Amino acid sequence: MIHGGLAVTRNERALSEVVGFVLILGIITAAFSLYLVYGVPAQGRENEILHMNDVKDQFVTYKLSLDSLFNNNKVGTSVSNSFTLGTSGGYTQGSNSIIPILSPVSSSGVIAINQRTPTPETLGISSYSRIVNSTVHNTSPFTLGSPLIIQAIPQHIYINISNIQPADLQSQTPTVYGLQITGTGWTATVNLSPRIAPSQIYTITTLSSAGGAQCPPGTQQTGTSGGMLYCLNTVQGALYNGTDISISVFKNNGSTIQSLPAYKSITSGSYAVDIMDPAYGISSIMQSPDNLTLSKTLYTYNTTTGSQITGSGTVVYSYSESAYTMSPLPLGSLEYRAKNNYWIPQTYYYQTGGVFLEQSDGNITWKLPPEISFSNDPSHNLVTVNINALTLDNSSSGMVGGNSPVQVKTTLDSITPLPFATVAQGTGNTKWIRIAVNTTDDKAREMWRNYFNYTAMAAGIPNTQVGTGSTESYIVINGPDADPNGAFDINVIASNATYVPSVHGVGGILQ
């Protein structure tokens, strides 16, 4: 090139090096951009998925801990469980973690007690059942020669001896009257019988001592006087000193009680002996169902007065048969709400012994079922309903947020059986039952409806009705005979355990 009359030579080597360096920077920038756009979110998504799996396992462990307290009746005992709120430090591993921009943003979460709904979610039960009652009881009388079939262990079995008259208690001709009741493997006899003690009667016989006379055999010479011989005669007799009502028990192939007085020195009137008194040892071996038979064993009729003594029996159960409605039980909940940055928001919560998962779309499903289950026994035409209402104390509350681990301490406060009568195996205590969960959460109502429907269908429970109302989901079971006024063909086994939880942590939110 000619410039100003001079020849100039161009050197373009430096320009190519600059262009190359810029291209390298562009490649590096593109690689970083691709990693930031695709790699970091993928790593963050994987971390959050792993974390949510850990949260699920932690809720499973929490459920098993509470079940252990309940199953072992450890009232007053506490357990502590750890929950990880976020992914901070747990999943930010790898060589690139030293450069913050190349690491996923840590997620966080909130652990909350009784914060699910504005108003408490509750469990309601109504039924027609045999309900244990301290004041009202079902009774079944039975008479001589008319067997009585019992379907449950009675609280009392009274053997009644009635219409005893003064003439029946005369010392000359005391009346003996006995009743015997027989069950499987045992017999009890209740006797009205005289109390007679052995006695000796002494008389003196005088004989002439002339001719060497001797006292007769069986008598004893006591002396002679004035030509007379005195002989002492002893006669064995019996002394009547009153009438008792006593009980004798035969069980375990042997006599365990023999003529134990229940009433001493009775007078005219009526008396009842409760053979279910623990002192007699029958209540401990009583079976149900059983066939009780009452019969007369001993009877010496007072021919002078024409005695009118009678006997009967009365079985008293600890329950009454009536409609029953339980006061709604607040269920409570322990929940974890994830604040995920790369994975869909999820919420795990514990309630009624179950573990549930709520997704970002609002749908709820159960990971572990609640403690409400059904079974069907066609051989006995019997449906069994098991309800373990494991509730968290409604007065407890708390919330911790952040990404640090927290501790939840839970104490088993009480276990209370619901008042459904305990009946014999293969028999029922209920004609119909309605179980309902009341919640303002629409998705939770749908989940409970699905749970009731699926569980009843899987167990083959006949004659059920499942539905939802404005604030509740429910199931109605009428039993195998389909008649709500028919047989007691449902056996309900139910109890309520109350836990008191508290949360301890160093998260960002604490209430």
**Per residue, what are the HEC states of 283-343?**
CCCCCCCEEEEEEEEEECCCCCCCCCCEEEEEEECCEEEEEEECCCEECCCEEEEEECCCC
Mean pLDDT, residues 386-391: 97
What average pLDDT does range 130-143 have in this prediction?
A: 86
Whether residue 438 is predicted with pLDDT greater than 50 in this model: the reply is yes
Comparing 293 with 202, the larger pLDDT belongs to 293
Residue 128: predicted pLDDT = 96
Between these two residues, 31 and 263, which has the higher pLDDT value? 263
Helix (H) or strand (E) holding 13: helix 13-34
pLDDT of residue 95: 43
Asked which of 83-97, 170-184, 349-363, 416-430 is least confident by mean pLDDT, the reply is: 83-97
With 0-12 CB in 10 A as exposed, 13-18 as middle and 19+ as buried, what is 382?
buried
Pick the more confident residue, 368 or 89: 368
Q: What is the pLDDT of residue 98?
A: 54
User: Quick check: 268 pLDDT over 50?
Assistant: yes
Q: What are phi and psi of 304, to 5 degrees?
A: -75, -45
Mean of the per-residue pLDDT values for the chain?
Answer: 86
The answer to whether the CB of 277 falls within 8 A of the CB of 154 is no
State residue 173's pLDDT score. 62
- Does 371 have pLDDT greater than 90? yes
Who has greater pLDDT, 217 or 408?
A: 408
Give per-residue pLDDT as tens, 466-508: 999 999 999 999 999 989 888 999 999 999 999 999 998 755 5
Query: What pLDDT, on the 0 to 100 scale, is given for residue 17?
Result: 73
Looking at the predicted structure, is the pLDDT value of residue 388 above 70? yes
pLDDT at 22 (0 to 100)? 77
pLDDT tens for each residue of 225-237: 777 888 888 877 7
CB 151 within 8 A of CB 319: no
Enumerate the H helices of 170-315 as residue ranges. Answer: none
Provide the CA 67 distance to its chain's centre, in angstroms: 13
pLDDT over 90 (residue 455):
yes
Quickly count: other Cβ atoms within 10 Å of residue 347's Cβ: 20
Q: Identify the band that residue 38 occupies on the pLDDT scale cut at 50, 70 and 90.
A: low
pLDDT of residue 274: 96
Which is more confidently placed, 383 or 177?
Answer: 383
Q: Of 14-23, 236-245, 290-299, which gets the smallest average pLDDT?
A: 14-23
Confidence of residue 93 (pLDDT cuts 50, 70, 90): very low
* pLDDT above 90 for 164: no
